[in-house]
């Protein structure tokens, strides 16, 4: 027999199961770690991971302004995916670190080096301003500067929880530099210095 919405019993049986986005396990104020274990949601590790999560969302705001398939879009997609690797490492208890997989659930030196290369490549396009600049020359550049500050906060929080020898903090440090360079790139050499009222034109000659 059909129900009020016109769907029969067979339709309901054949429907895919409902996947809930909540489990209720965190109602006690704890959250699960990768490979097992639970900690309080206000644990320093979760605070650090939460800041990285915010940073990833901030990068998403930049990407929402980018043309799909553009150089900016591709660069941001790569970094957003790498931040999942970083969060996986942070969310792993010390006694489970041997289970981490390089570049999948653990940040590697190669990932850090690649960020440095991307930053250097952007720096070759424009002479970077020798002083602080005022955010807000355009929307995308401002979002890059905002994302950089969130990454800096994540870096500060990660210092206290990253394992010895981990590349988490170096990665976040390089990433903040990349976001600063990206902001200047998006300003196309027209940065506004913090100490003057004159726009600085810093486009490099080819």
What digits encode the pLDDT tens for the residues 128-163? 766 777 766 789 999 999 999 999 999 999 999 999
The 10s digit of each residue's pLDDT in 156-175 is 999 999 999 999 999 999 99
CA angle 144, 170, 79 (to 5 degrees): 45
173 vs 28, more confident = 173
Question: Cα separation of 38 and 43, whole Å?
Answer: 10
Give me the helix-helix angle, 71-90 and 109-123, nearest 10°: 150
Token pair for 28? 């006690």
Cα 35 to the center of its chain, rounded Å: 22
CB burial string 149-176: b at 16+ within 10 A, e below: ebbbbbbebbeebbeeebbbbbbbbbbb
d(CA 37, CA 122): 42
Give CA–CA dist 180/85, Å, rounded. Answer: 22
């Amino acid at each position: 027999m059909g129900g009020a919405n016109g769907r029969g019993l067979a339709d309901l049986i054949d429907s895919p199961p409902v996947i809930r986005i909540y489990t209720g396990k965190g109602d006690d104020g704890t959250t699960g770690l990768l490979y097992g274990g639970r900690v309080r949601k206000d644990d320093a590790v979760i605070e650090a991971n939460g800041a990285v999560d915010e940073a990833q969302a901030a990068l998403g705001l930049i990407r929402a302004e980018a043309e799909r398939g553009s150089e900016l879009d591709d660069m941001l997609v790569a970094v957003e995916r790498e931040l999942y690797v970083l969060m996986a490492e942070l969310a792993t208890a010390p006694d489970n670190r041997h289970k981490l997989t390089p570049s999948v659930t653990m940040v590697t030196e190669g990932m850090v080096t690649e960020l440095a290369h991307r930053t250097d490549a952007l720096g070759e396009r424009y002479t970077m301003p020798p002083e602080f600049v005022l955010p807000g020359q355009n929307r995308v550049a401002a979002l890059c500067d905002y994302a950089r500050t969130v990454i800096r906060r994540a870096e500060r929080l990660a210092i206290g929880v990253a394992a010895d020898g981990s590349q988490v903090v170096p990665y976040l440090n390089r990433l903040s530099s990349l976001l600063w360079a990206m902001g200047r790139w998006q300003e196309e050499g027209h940065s506004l210095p913090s100490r003057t009222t004159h726009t600085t034109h810093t486009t490099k000659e080819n």
